[in-house]
Homo-oligomer: A and B are copies of this chain.
Amino acid sequence: MKKDTAIILLHAQDHDGIVPAVTEFVLNNQGKIKKLDQHVIEDEKRIFMRIEWLLTNFAIPQEKIGEFFNTLIAERFQMKWSLHIRNKKTRVALFVSKYAHCFHDILSRYESKEWDIDIPIIISNHEKFRYVAERYDIPYHCFPITKENKKSQEAQELALLKEYQIDLVVMARYMQILTNHFIDQYPNQIINIHHSSLPAFAGADPYGSAFRRGVKFMGATAHYATEDLDEGPIIVQDVIPISHRDSIADMKRKGKDIEKQVLAQAVWAHLNYNVLTYKNKTVVFQ
C-alpha cells in the first residue's frame, strides 16, 4: 500500500540557508524525505524547490503542517509556497468536444490504472461521446454553448465541478474558450492542449498556417489556461519533423499523436505535483 506523503513546492529569492532549513524542518520532525529537488535560476536569482516526505511518524499533524511551515520557514525567507498531501486520488473533470484522440487516450490511462485518478464527470458541448462515458459509467453532461448562453452554461458547469469536488480540469481538445470568470475559479488547475508549438501558430487553424508557412517542424503545447488565450504557462511541448510531402491531412493525423502524448505528459507532471508556476512560466520537476 502506498503511504501518505506531503509535498511542498516553493520559490524564493536565492539564499543558501533555504535548503538546510527546509530539509531540517522535515527531518527534525521525523519526516522521511522521499524526493528533494531544487534549482537556482541564475538569470532570476531565485531558488525553486520541491520536497516530498513520508507522513508516517511525522510529528506535526497533517492539518497543521502548512501553518507550522509558514511560521517557521516560509516567512523567514519570504517564500511563495504550496503544500500538497498525497493521500487520495486526484479528481479530474474531462472536457471534450468532437475530437476523440486525447479523450480516448486519457480514458485508457485511467482504465488501465496507469494514472491513479478518479474521473467523476465528463463535460462536453456535444452529445457525440455520451456513449463512451456510459461505457465507463461516468456521468456525461452536455452543455451546448452559444454566445448568448455561455455565461449561464458555464455557471452550471462550475456548479458541477464544485459538486464533484474537482481538483483538475483537463481540456481534451475542448473547442470552447472559457471565460475569465471560469478560469479564475481554477488557477493552474485547468490544462489545455494547443495543436502547435507555441508561440508559433497560436489561435485557429495552426496546421493550415504551418502548411502555408512551409515549416519543417510542427508540435503541440500543453499549458495552464489563463485569461489570455494560448498564453498560459507552458508545461510540456513536443515537436515532430515534417516535410513538403506532408499534406494538411497528414499533419492533422500526425498531430493527433503528438497532442495526446504532450497532454498526457503534462497531466502526469501535474498529478505528481511536479509543476510550479512563476512569472507565467513553469518549473517542471522530474
A contact set with B: CB distance below 8 Å: 16-17, 19-20, 23-24, 26-27, 32-33, 35-36, 38-43, 48, 100-101, 104-105, 108, 111-112, 114, 135, 197-201, 211-217, 219, 233-234, 236-239, 241, 243-245, 247-248, 253, 256-257, 261, 264, 279-284, 286
Is the beta-carbon distance between B244 and A282 smaller than 8 angstroms? yes
Which residues of B are found within 8 Å of A32, using beta-carbon distances?
Answer: 16
A211 to B42, CA, bound (A): 12
Is the beta-carbon distance between B200 and A199 smaller than 8 angstroms? yes
Q: When the two chains form the complex, which single residue of B19, B42, B216 contacts A234, counting CB atoms closer than 8 Å?
A: B216
Known: A39-B245, A247-B41, A247-B43. A213 touches B197 (CB 8 A): no
Q: When the two chains form the complex, which single residue of B16, B27, B100, B114 contacts A111, counting CB atoms closer than 8 Å?
A: B100
Minimum distance in angstroms from A155 CB to a CB of chain B: 31
A32 to B16, CA, bound (A): 7
Is the beta-carbon distance between B244 and A214 smaller than 8 angstroms? no
Closest B residue to A108 using CB positions = B104
Which residues of B are found within 8 Å of A100, using beta-carbon distances?
Answer: 108, 111-112, 114
State how many copies of this chain the complex holds.
4
Would you list 29 pairs from A and B whose C-beta atoms are within 8 A, ordered by A residue?
A16-B23, A16-B26, A19-B19, A19-B36, A20-B20, A20-B23, A36-B38, A41-B245, A41-B247, A104-B111, A114-B256, A135-B135, A197-B215, A197-B239, A199-B215, A214-B280, A214-B281, A214-B282, A215-B237, A217-B219, A217-B237, A217-B238, A217-B239, A241-B241, A244-B282, A244-B283, A244-B284, A245-B286, A257-B261
A111 to B101, CA, bound (A): 10
A48 to B101, CA, bound (A): 33
Closest B residue to A24 using CB positions = B20
A236 to B244, CA, bound (A): 11
Additional A-B contacts beyond A20-B24, A104-B108, A216-B236 (15; CB < 8 A): A16-B26, A16-B33, A17-B27, A19-B23, A19-B36, A36-B38, A100-B112, A100-B114, A197-B217, A197-B239, A198-B200, A214-B234, A215-B237, A244-B282, A244-B283
Which residues of B are found within 8 Å of A40, using beta-carbon distances?
Answer: 35
Is the beta-carbon distance between A257 and B264 smaller than 8 angstroms? yes
Closest B residue to A16 using CB positions = B33
A238 to B111, CA, bound (A): 26
Minimum distance in angstroms from A59 CB to a CB of chain B: 14
Minimum distance in angstroms from A254 CB to a CB of chain B: 9
Is the beta-carbon distance between B108 and A112 smaller than 8 angstroms? no
Which residues of B are found within 8 Å of A41, using beta-carbon distances?
Answer: 244-245, 247
Minimum distance in angstroms from A104 CB to a CB of chain B: 4
Closest B residue to A14 using CB positions = B33
A114 to B253, CA, bound (A): 8
